[in-house]
Structures are given as structure tokens and as C-alpha cells.
Structure 1
Amino acid sequence: MSWWQFIYFFLAFASAGMSGWLAYFGWRRRRSESGLAFMLFACALTIWSFFYAFEISSNSPATKLTLSKLMYFGIVAVAPSWFIFALYYTGNSHWITRRRLVGIWVIPLLILCLVLTNDWHHLHWRELLYSTDERLGFLRGDVQYGASFWLHTLYAYVLMLMATALLARVALNAVRHQQRQASLILISVFIPWASNIIYVTRTNPLGGLDITPMAFTVAGALIGWVLVRFRALENIPIARETIIEGLADGILLLDCDHFILDINRAACELCQLEDVLGESIEQALYQYPKLLQLYHQLLKSKQSSDEITLRDGVILNVAVSTIYNYIGDPAGYLLILHDITQRKQAEEKIARHVAELRTLREIDARISESLDITAVLDTALTSAVQMTRATAGFITLIEEEGQRLVQAHGHYKTLPLGELFPKHFGIVGRVIRTGKAEFVRDVTADADYYVDVQDTCSEMVVPLIAHEKIIGILNLETSRPSGFKIEQFEFVKLLAGRIATAIENAQLYTTLQAKLEELQKLYHQVKNLEQMKTDMIRIASHDLRNLLANIRGYLDLLQIDRDLMTEDHVMYVNMMVAQAIRMEQIIKDILSLERYQAEAVFEPIDMRLLVLATVADYEDQADQKSLTITLDVPSTPIEIEGDQAQLREAISNLIVNAIKYTPAEGQIHISLQTQADRLIFKVKDTGYGIPEDKQAKLFSPFFRAKSEETAEIEGTGLGLHLVKNIIQRHHGQVFFESVYTQGSTFGFEIPLNR
């Protein structure tokens, strides 16, 4: 290998190494699309330079031809990858679609195929002769190019030219520090352009030696330095049209002497400016002295922004900031004009609504303070008149026969307060028919207007609706020529809903008060009747018991002398005794029922002792019928809160019923137990049972479930009814099970209060 051959090999190989480092640099920034594109560009340069280095070092024509073909794997990719990088770098990535990417790579792939198959058609290299260069001392090729070579050259130049145009546009329009990086990249593009033109035109002083890959490597090194120095892959320059013209805010860029260097379209429209580049800000904005004053004020103060009314209907937020160069010295000023007109209008509208809602809440509170219908109507109409500055107004309430004027303000001549007039009267009647509020700006132009208040100009009529029903009308009139405003009309419609609710509540309160008075009167009447009933029952029971005592006394005397009577007379006396006993039981049950209706006295009770004592009272009756009574009660006390007399009455009734309805030689089982938080008492017998069709009415007063077996058994039908009422008073419930001819189980359960 000659000395010159080694030098060219070293340069080409060094180019491949530099390109490889650039590819690695792009791979490290692969998260950005421009980083991937730059990596592809650097990889193409690496392949080109790598095989070119070995092509220079080879002295075999066959090897040189093979290496030349392999170089095209990189050569065909350089221009497309550089163009794609330029698109991403300049912010035009939206142009890149899948279809366009395929289109960009079609010709390079076609050229690569033609290069690899050149031996068959010679469309790329028509003739390739190798000879030894005496001056350089190594084998060099003399090439005659074919059509595909010139097609590739033209295509590559077109792509490079478009990429250069994109970079030039950024260099002209980007901000200052981005102009520097774009300008350096643009300069680096011309290095391989110049070297390739020299090679293609055969004006290279080194003969057929192609220095384009080395030139691309030098350009790549310069680009790499720019990418590292300015972090260009992370900070892509954006065209001026995107960064400034696309902003909705007005932007003015000024130098340190306050001359306009740049201005966007939004600023021109806001300030109505034309052709002010190069003018001082005083000249350009002379018609806006307040804006100029604020500009200089913001520059002197630490305040960054403030608001100003530029002209009628246009409100701006003005911000001024100082621009510094790379060494920290002031380089100019940036004036930003942000149109906040719509925001201010929205804020004013919101503030107005908030004020209206606050006022509405205050009025609502005043209306709701009283449930007196007169006070509600007066407060409602007064509030509506004050809020709208009406000169007259009234409220009517709808009735079956018409509408009644219940509240008025102003001088109404033909509408006296309290009078009833037709529903279809004037504009008010129209609103009643349609159910929609009306705002009449000029009453003289409305044929339905009824003149009652002189000099009225405008009228607002709003229905008072509650539960989708019109209950009244709110009418407001003004004699002011300017009339009412639409905002007042909207407010009155909101107020009408509150007034309707307040009136309905007041009416409901009045109705309820009247009903309450009626109920109180009725209650006192019922209470008096109840007392009379109680007194009558007590008196009647007392008198009846006295009479029965006399009758029983005489009957006992007659029974002493039964030997002197005939059999018929003895039978009659026995019947009278039985009926007297039955009457005594009826009187006893009525008095028990009366005692139950009195207030119960709740106190701690040991239910175990109460059950044992009550069972003991009826053991003799059970023995007379040869009935067997078994007890199942706990050995420890069971305490509850209850009325002892009433619970004893309930237990007695259940035991007596079991004795009465169980035939001789039968069995009665009485149990008392606790389960969770409940006390359970049961009386189970082997008596006659109750027919199924009579069980539903067992606890009804005076009902007796008679059957063939029990027809002769006396009773009042009040016992079970009394038991049920007593147990319910103790927050418990009764239960029973009965099978006809087999027996019954009656009992109750009540809560435990330990």
C-alpha cells in the first residue's frame, strides 16, 4: 500500500468512524423523530465511508467493483434520510405520511437494484476501467456513467435542494439563537454539495477520487457539534408563521431603542396598524396614549402586566418583558397584547348574575319569613317594584270564577283591591291563556293593553306557577320612557318562581291552620264524648254490679228453699243464676278493657313469679275438670319493664281459655322462656281446637269461634282481643296454632329490658 493510498484510506476510515459516532449520537436521541432520522443519515454515511475506505485500499479490480456496489447501500440512503431529517428538524413532520415515505424510497431502492445487477444491463456504469495512477501509486477507476447514475444524481440533488430550502427558511424566520444553529447546519450542507459537484463534473484535481463521503463526514461533524452545542434535537426550530403568526395574542418585538423589529397579524388587527416595521413605538401607537403610557410604566416597574381599555369594546391585558442576548445584556423588548374582552364580558355577566342571585336569596328570605298570606304578598310585590323601579304593579290570585286582585302598588283607578274580575282581561288574560311571561316594551302598540295607570310605557306580566299550575299573576308597569330592560325581565321571571312557592306555602299554611282548628274542636268534642263514655261505663258497671249482687242474693235464698219448689221452678232458678254469672263476667271484661285504655304503669316485673302466681290462681278450676297442668319455667328471675296488672290479665285470659276449652282428663302445658332479646310465653292444650275457617277473626272484639263441641261454653268474646291490645302496648305480638279436634297453642312474645 502506497503512502497516498494509506492517507486516503485513513481519511475514509476516519470518516466512517466519525459517521458511526454521529449514528450513536442520533440513537441516544431516538425518542425524538428528528433523532431517528439523523441516525439513519449517519448510518448511511458510515456504510458509504466504510466500504469506500476498503475500496481505496484494494488493488484488485474485482474487489473494487464489489466494494463499489456495496457502497451504494449507503449512497442511495444519504439524500432521502437527510431530507426526512430536515422535515422533522424544521417542524414539518405533518408532511410525512406512510404513503409519502414509501414514495421517497422507491427511486433509491430502484437505483440500488440497478447497481447490484449492472453486469447484466450496464445502465449505471456503462464502462468501468481500472488503472494504476503513477502519481498516487494505487489502482483507480475510470467510469462512464449510465442513465440510472444520472437519475440518482438528479433525484439526490432535488432532495438536497428541498432540504436546503427548508433549512434556509428556518434560518431566515426563526428566533435568534435558532437562526444560528439553522445557519450553521445550512453552511454544512454546502460542503458535500460542492465536493459532489466537483466529482461529478470531473474537475477534481485528484482525478477519479471521490471525496464526497469525506465531505459529508466533515459536514456531519459540524452538524454534530451544532446538535450537541445547541441541543438541537431537543429544541427543534419552528417557523415564524407557526410561532408568531399562529398566536391569537398580539406580539410586537422591539429593539433597545423601542423601534419595531417585528409585529404579527393579531397585533395589527388589535391596534389597527399597517406597515409599522422600523417605526418607533411612539409613532406606531400615537393614537393610543394610554397604551404607550402603560408600556413605559411596565418597563420601569416590577409589574409584568396590567389591563387597559384600548378603545370602545376592546379590553387588553398588556405584558412587557425584556429580551436578553447570550451574554445577558438587554437585546430588546417583547410587547404582548392579550385580548380579554370576552373574558371581561363573561366576568361582568357572572358578577351580575351573582348579584341577582344574592338579591334573589335576600328577597326569598324576606318572603319566607312569614307564612301569613297578606305579609307574603306585600313583601313580594314591594321587592319586585323596588328591583325593577316600576311605578305600578299588582298581584292577582286565580280562582274558579276569575282572578282576584290581592295586592297592588300605584294608582289603579278601576281595579279595587279585593275585587274579582275576569281571567281573560287585557295582557294579563293573554298570559293566563298562554302560560308564558310577556315583556311589552311599548304598551301603546299592544291592542290588549287596558289603560288604568296613566303614562305607562312598558309592562311586564309574569305568571306565578306552582306545580305546573298558574296560581296567580305578577304585573309590573313603568312610566319611564326608557322602559324596562331585558335583564330586569329575566330577573322578574326568576323572582316569580320564588313568589309562587311562597304564596302556595302561605295558602297551604292558612288551609292547615283552618283544618287544625277544626281538628282541635273535633278533638275536644271526642275527648268530652270519651269522658262521658268512660263515666257512663263506670256508673253503669257500678250500678249493674249492685243490682246483680241483689239478684244473686235473692237467687241464693231461693236455692236454699229448693226443696219446696217444683222441678221446673228449680230449673228456672238455675238458669237465672247462670245468666247472672255470665253478666258478671261481661261487666268484668268491659271494666278490664276500660282499664287497658287508661295509661299503663310500667315498672320492673319478674315474669317468672308472675306466671307462677297466676297459674296457682287457676289450679282449683283445673282440678275440678281433672286437667293436668305442667309448667316449664326457668329457675332464675326474668325481669322486664311492664304493667303488672295488665300482663297478669293477659296471662289469666290465656290460661282460663285453655281450661274452658279442654275436655276433662285433658292436659295443659304452660311454658316461659327467653330467646335472644325476646320473652316467650305459651299455653298449649289438648282441647277442642278451632275450625280453620274461624281462625282469622279470633282477636276481633266480641267474636267467639263456636263449634259443635263449644256451643254450650259461655264467653264474651273479649278475652283474646284484650290480650292482643295489652301485648301490643308492651311492643310485642301474639301468636297461636290450632288444629280442630286436636288442641291449640296460644302465646305472646315481648322484648326483654334487662
Structure 2
Amino acid sequence: MTWQYNPYIWPLAISAIVAWAVAIYMWPRRKSAPGGFPVFILLICAGFWSASYAMEFASADLQGKFFWNKIVYLGIAPVCPLWFLFALNYSGWSPRNRTTYLLLAIEPVLVQIAVWTNFSHQNFWTHIELVYQDNTPVLMHKYGTLFWIHAAFAYLLLIVSTVVLIQLLIRTSHLYKRQVIAIISGLFVPWAGNVIYLSGSSPFGNLDLAPLSFTLASCILVWGLFHSKLFEAIPIARETLIANMPNVVLVTDLHNRLVFANPAAQDLFGKSVTRKLGQSVSEILPKIWQTLEHLKEHTHTEIELQKEDAVQHYELYFTLLHNRQKHLSGHLIVLQDIGKQKETEERLTELETAAEQANRAKSIFLANMSHEMRTPLNAILGYAQITADADNLQERHQRAILAIEKSGGHLLQLIDDILHLSKIDSGQAEVNLVGFDLHKLLQEIGRMFKSRCEQQSLNWRMDIALDTKHVTGDANKLRQVLINLLDNAVKFTSKGEVTLKVDVRNNDQIYFEINDTGAGISQTDQQTIFEPFQQKTQDKPEGGVGLGLTVAMRQVELMDGNLSLKSNIGEGSQFSFFLTLPPGKSPTVKLDTIDWSSAKRLAEEYAVHALIVDADETSRKEITEMLKQIGATVETAINGQDALHHISNQMPDIVFTDLRMPIMDGTELLKKIHQQYGKVATTLIAVTASLFDHQRQGYLDMGFESLIDKPASEEQIYACLLEYLNVEFIAEDNSAVPQDPTDIDLTKIVLPTDLYQNLLRATDTHSITDLRTHIEMLSTLGHTEQYLGQQLKELSEKYDMAGIAEILEKLETTR
């Protein structure tokens, strides 16, 4: 390798020295300005580019010049990616992970590979030769495909960088526009140098102006960052803002020492707080410190502070402070005075409480008044119906009595609606969650409104799609909501049809929809239709005072639902709502209403296989004798392990197990059965002598169906058979065991359709004579029906038609 003198060496050497000198200046300041570190590396690469390019001019032979030409690309390749990184960092879009940096490093690495392996593929330079210009050897080369790909990528990064900085210029405040303009101006210097050189129109012959232009651009960039004096406006503005801020501002360091307090903090804590800077917050502001110990990273809370003789309320905001390297550097505490806000809130609370108490008092009065009016009104209606059945009434008397019945029925409905509404408003209404048969409830309502629709020449349609039959919810409130909505639909529909649609949407969400083809409801009326005593303005039918929809909406809301309405004039109406009704068990008879003294044995069609598990022999024998005397098959085991042996041979219908036993106790036995045979394989009843009330729910949650206290009685054992195995008992005379007529198992009663319809019609029309005639027919159907008749008769004597209707809605009919 030989050397020569070339005048272009001097500007390139000066360019390298300047670039590295500015880099040295930049090093301690690289973290104080956005994009400082990429600029520092950019200056190193620009200086290396100029220095290696100078060495190429100093070489006199082809081998030397080509070697230094390849060295040049160690500085060229990273320059544009670094400029791009600076633009992103300076604009606030700095990459948050290392992936972006690695992707940007791929192209410079590939360039090095292409440059140093060009001899094998000649795709970066296709031709290289040494020519003499004015007796000076110059390296001439023709660029290949890989070079132009590299050039395109570099120009693309410069274009994107320019666009990013121009966008920043557009959105930044006027204080920073001068700085951004300076940086953009510096970016156009390498643009111009590259275009001049690649176009071959450089006035300096074969000198590539790029290293000089990038060095100049970097220097302009550094000048824009540090010497445009624009950053000096930031602390001035910041100090002015904080000094005039009404909120208290405190700053602590990593050691929880107070390092800053604004004038508002001095007003609150005293002038001495500034003299205590550097001390621990726990010492000078203990109340603040106690609150901070209970806060998380970014949060706020209310705090009470003593100022002079008064307690003041503040909202405390606590934020972690991080430096540009995302390292925690301290804490920011801001206190905002919310005294007036608290006074307003307390006043509003007082007014709201007073309004609620007044509304509750009104509702209680209405509820009591409605209840007191209902009793004499039932008597009036009852005696009016009895009088109407007399044979010697004149026609004018019959018309008068009919008017009494019609007006009384209207008033009774009004009282019922007021009673329901006032209970909800006064907070007396509660949701009674029980297991019930939803499908059966819907069928009962369907039969009721099918008859109503037929009387008005309307079509009745039900569309029921349920995955489960038994659900948990308030059956009575759901029934009343559906009846109110359907009654409203039938009342306002003169022709067409009324439809009830029910299906399951999400999980336990059940959707109810009532559609009619009536006159529809105007948009104006829809704004007030759910308010009390509001009705649609057009086509008012006789009867009704506008409470049915109000009661329905309130009861749906009470069950955590939302009643919606869609309607247009002439297109009918649609009422819909969702209710959460999780799976549940069907209700059964109350166990304490059975006359167990007459229960002698199981009915012939029932067979019970029971397993008694107890370490105490006396307890085993007692329960065994109780079950054997009614005809049950009984096996015994002394612990859970012994019980599993019996179960492996034959699964019992029911297991009575003690909880405390050696080897394997009752809870472990339950777990084993559930693991090996499933949770519905058999019924498990816990029998124990050592159980506190607060422990009972825990064992029920484990999977025990019920818990019996020792010593177990016949009533408790037999009641479990009735409750969980649905058996029937017979008395000594082979008759069914009688039950309390006020609480019979309605799920087991199936009435003839004609009788059911007659009972329902007599109840709807308040016809006492017809009702009692049909009730007498129940005694001819069987024991259970006889007890039902006794209950209905007692209700009819009290003229409690609503109670009778509620019972009838729960009954099944033959098809």
C-alpha cells in the first residue's frame, strides 16, 4: 500500500476532528436532551466516515483505495438509522423495547456483509478501477443492485425522519418551533450533499460531500438542542405555574425526604416547612406520611388536616416520579382543597335523606291504607255476588249489583297496584329467592291468557326455548310482571295476536319478550308510560289507572333487570327484559306440616335403600329401626372406609353419616363419593351431635343435602326421605298421610282441564257461588285434592280472590 498527498485530505480530517470534538462535548449532556444518545453515536460515525474517507484519498494504489473504501462503510451504514432514532426520541415516540433497535441494526450489518464479500457476488460494486485525473489516482466504481437497495433504505429513513420532525413542528408550541426548525434545517444538509454527489454534479470533482454534510448537520443539531436558549423557558414557566398554584405541591426524594414545597404548602403547614427541607416527611408531616403508607403507586384519597382551629378536607394525589431512564427518582404529592365540595355533598345527602324519608312515609301510609281498604272491599264484593245469585232480584237491582261488582273489581285492582308500588318505594318489598319450575309457571300464564285472548278473538302464541326447567328467583314477582304486561297487551289489542317469548341468552340470563299487534304507543307517550298514573293518550280502554306498567318496571328493577319498550303507532308494542335466574330445585312441601304420627310405612310403589354410617352402635341401631319399621332396606357401616366398601357393591338411595369417625370421617366420605361416583350419585345427610349454627352452611356448601342434630327423630329421618327421595307414606288404613291444608305440595296436583278453567273463571269474575260449587268437586278427586279444596274454601270465605288465583296458577291440568 503506497501513499500520496491530496488536498481533499484536509477538509475531511477537519470534519472528523470537529465531529469527534462535538461528540466529546455531547457525552456528559447525552441524557439531558431527548435523542441525545443517538446524536452522540451519530457524531462518532460521522467522524469515522470522514477519517476513513481521508485515508482513501491518501492511498495511491487500487488495493489501498479499495480497502479504505470498504472501511468507509463502517461509518456510513449506521448514520441514517441513528438519525431516524434521534427523530423518534426527540418527537416523543422513542421505542419501548429492544426489538426496534435490533431491526434497525439489521440493514447496517447486511451492508457490511455485502461490502466485504463483493468480490464473490459483485452486486454492491459491479466494476472497480483506478483512473488518473490531473495526474491524481482516483478510485472509480459502478454501483450494483445491493448498493441501490442500501441507498433507497437510507433515503427512506431520512424521509420518515423529516416527516416526523415536520409533524412535531406543526403540533409543538411556539416556544419550541425555532428549535425544531433548526434541527430540520440541519437534516436538509445531508439531503443536499447526497443528491449532489450521486448525480455527479459536484463542483469538487470526485469528493463525496456526504461525510462533510452529516458532520455539519450533527453540529447544527447539537447547537439547536443546547444553544438555542429555548429550554431556559421551561423552568421559568414551571416555577411561575407552581408558585401561583392554589394546590399544595410537595416533592420527596427516594429516601422520603422533603425536597420541595410550594407557597401553598407554606400557607397550610407554616413558613417553617421550607426550613425543614431535607428532613424526613414522617417527622415534619406525620399525618401526610401515615396516609402515604396506605397508598399504592398512582392513587388518591381524602385526608383531613388541622389548620388553625378548623378541620379542612383535602384530596391527596400521590404519583411516582421517574427520570428519562425510567428509574424512580422521587414522589410527587398534591393536595387539593375540597372543603366546599364536601359541604355541598353533605347538604345534598341531607336533602336526599329527607326526601327518601318523606317518600318512605308516604309509601308506608299508602300501603297501610290499601291493606285496610282491601278487607272491607272483599266483603262488599263477596256479598254483592251472593246477592246477585238470588232468584227474586228485579232487573234494575241486578244492574245495580253488576255495577257494584265492576266498580269494586276496578277499585280492588287499583288497591293491589298501589299496595305493590308503595311496598317497593318504601323498601318493604324484598326479592324472595326460591327454587321454582319456570316452565310450569309459563304454562300456567299461557293457559290464563289463551282463555283471555279467545274471549277477545285474538290469537295467542308462546315461543319458549329453555335449557333448564327449575330455576332460582322470585316466582311471585315474575308472575305478576308477566301478568301485568300481558294484561296490558290484551287490553290494548283489538285484533291480531299477543305473543310471549322466553329463551336463554348468556349463562343464567333469561330473556322475556311480550309482543302485541295493538295500536302502538307514540314517542311522546313512551317518555312517561312507566310513570305512575300515566296512560297512552289515544284509544284508552275502560278500566285501568296507569299503574300496571309502573309496578312491572319497579319489580323488574327489584330483581336486577331493566324493562325496555319498543313501539310505533300502528305497529304494536314490544316489552322485554332480562333476568338472572340460576338453576335451582323445585319447591317441595314444608317438612313440618306432615302428620308423622300416622305415617306407618312407605307406599307400595316406593322402595328405599339406606346406608347408616356411624361409629356409635346405639346411633346406628336407632336410625336403622326407624327406617326398617316403614319398610326401608338398611345397611350399616362403622366409618367412611367401611361405607365405601358397601357402596362399591350397591349404591344406596340415601346415606345418613356422622361427621366425626375414626379412619375416615363424614366429610372425607362425601369427597370420595363425589370423586368416584359424581355429585348426584346418592343423597348424603349429615347426622351429628357437635355442630354450631355458624358451621352448618359450610357443610351444606361441601355437598351435604341436609344436617340432622343427634339424637335424630323419626320426623327428621322421614322428612329427608320425603324431601330428597320424593316418597309417599301411607297410614294404617292404607290412606295417604294427611297434610296441613295451608301448605300442600301443589307440584303433585293435576286437575281436569274443565274443572281448572271453571275455578279460574269463577275467581276472575269474583263469583263466590260458582267458586264454592267447583271447590266441592275437589273432594271427589282424592286426599290431596281434598286438602286443596279445604284451603281454597277458607280463602273464599275471606273473599281473598288474589290468594285463590295465586294457588290456581301453580296447578297442572290434564291434557
Provide the TM-score with structure 1 as the length reference: 0.34
Indicate the structure (1 or 2) with the bigger Cα radius of gyration. 1
